[in-house]
Each structure stands twice: as structure tokens, then as C-alpha cells.
Amino acid sequence: MKRITYYIAMCLALFTASSCSKFDNYDAPDQTVKGVVTDAGTGKPIQTEVTTTDGAMTAGTRIRLVETSYSATATPQFLASRQDGSFTNTKLFAATYTMTPEGAFVPPTPKVVEVKGGTTEVNFSVEPFLRIEWVGEPTYDAATGKVNAQYTIVRGTANASYQDAIGDCVLYLNNTQYVGNTNFTLFTRPATPALTVINSVASPVLPKGREIFLRVGARIGSRLYNYSTIKSVTIPN
């Protein structure tokens, strides 16, 4: 009787192991998707900041991916973009995905993309809420210990739903190239800037003997921030 019980237990164990192996033998995700989110009006990459990759969208630019070949109600994945609007994920399964960029721009039409064959490139062209450009180069004033800069802000879309007044404008500064509303050591808020004209801003007094990275961020209402490119200024001793 003990021998029969032993054989039954062994058979059950082998059956369980065999059943589990059906679910564990899938190849690891080895597909790459990459691309860039660009400004439809200029063709330039959308400047952004360090990005929220899960939960509510609170900063930066991210790509929402839903694997529709697996399930019509699959849980979304989120892929953060770099500060220059580019993005890369090297660990996706070969499958069909619906991809939608989210950020400080008019929501575009999602793209249905078949990811297979190694590397798939997917680019998006969007209308930013605001477009911020430097005028000349930021300069250091040794007499005041501050950096002075000029910039312009124009609207990036004519969409009537995104014509709110400018709700905030900030000059952000940091000791590294990662600089924005989520990464800064110093900042200053200039007077509310006017659209389409040259605006001026001066930084706080800066410590000497280092390189400072800076950019201007602005937003309409309380939406996400649009950004200028990042500049750097060397502060002498």
C-alpha cells in the first residue's frame, strides 16, 4: 500500500512539473522599440524632463504601450523618454502594440505597431502646448554673480482646447545636465512672460568654480511643462 501511495505521489509531482513547464518555456523578451517624439511645427525633438513612468502622468514625456495581441484589456506599460524626446526599450515581447505618447502636447492618434525582427522604430509628431527658444547664449555677469538669458515663448498649437494663459515660467539650474521641474538646485521665476516677444531673466547668485546647466520651463494653466533646450555656463573662480 505504501508503495502504491509513493507511485501516485511521484506521478502527481511529475504531472505538476510538466504542466508548469508549459508556462515557463516562453522566450525572454528580446525585441527593441525605439523612436523620438518631435514637434510637428519644427521637426525638432520635444524637450522634456525626467519622466513619471507609472501611475498618474505628472512630469515629462512617456509612451503608453498596450499589447493588444495578448489581450484587448491588457495592462498598459509605460516607457519614459529621455530629456531630448527619444526613447528606447530593449525588453519587449514580439507582439502587436498600441502606442500613444503622453506629455505636454496635444494628444495624438495612437499607432498600432507590430514589434518583431529585432528593432522596430516608431516616431511621433505632436503639437506642443508651448514652444520655448533661447535668444542668443546665456552669459555670466561677474559683477552680479548671475547668469543672464533671453528667450521667446510661442504657442505650438492652434487647437482651441489648449489656449490657456501661461500659468508658470521658471528658469531652472542644476549641477548636472538633468535639469527641469523634477531636478534642480536653484531656480527663479521671472515676471510672467509675454508671448512672441523676447523675454529676459537673471539667475540667482551662483557659486563660483563650476559648470551650471540651465533651461527655461513654462506651462499653460496647470498642465505639464514645455522646455527649452539645455544650456551650460562655466562660472569662473
How would you write the pLDDT of the chain (237 residues) with one tens digit per residue? 545 444 444 444 444 444 444 455 667 888 999 999 999 999 999 999 987 666 667 789 999 999 998 777 889 999 999 999 999 999 999 999 999 999 999 999 999 999 998 999 999 999 999 999 999 999 999 999 999 999 999 999 999 999 999 999 999 999 999 999 999 999 999 988 999 999 999 999 999 999 999 999 999 999 999 999 999 999 999
The per-residue pLDDT for range 50-79, each reduced to its tens digit, is 876 666 677 899 999 999 987 778 899 999
In this chain, the answer to whether the domains covering 31-126 and 130-235 adopt an identical fold is yes
Q: 37 with 84: CB under 8 angstroms?
A: no
Spell out the domain ranges in the chain.
Answer: 31-126, 130-235
Tell me what percent of the chain is helix, strand and coil, each rounded to the nearest 5: 10, 45, 45
Amino acid 183: pLDDT: 92
Q: 31 with 51: CB under 8 angstroms?
A: no
Q: What are phi and psi of 11, to 5 degrees?
A: -65, -40
- 31-126 CATH pick, 2.30.30.30, 3.40.710.10, 3.40.50.300, 2.60.40.1120: 2.60.40.1120
Domain 130-235 has CATH 2.60.40.2060: yes
* Percent of the chain at pLDDT exceeding 70: 87
SS3 6: helix
CB atoms within 10 A of CB 128: 28
- In which element (H, E) is residue 231 found? strand 231-235
Instruction: Compute the distance between CA of residue 136 and CA of residue 15 in angstroms, rounded to an integer.
Output: 72
Q: How far is CA 41 from CA 51, 129, 169, in A?
A: 23, 11, 22
Note the pTM of the prediction, 2 decimals: 0.85
By C-alpha distance, which of 132, 128, 134, 133 is closest to 156? 128
| Residue whose C-alpha cell reads 525605439 in the numeric block | 34
Amino acid 22: pLDDT: 45
- In which element (H, E) is residue 98 found? strand 95-102
Q: 146 with 58: CB under 8 angstroms?
A: no
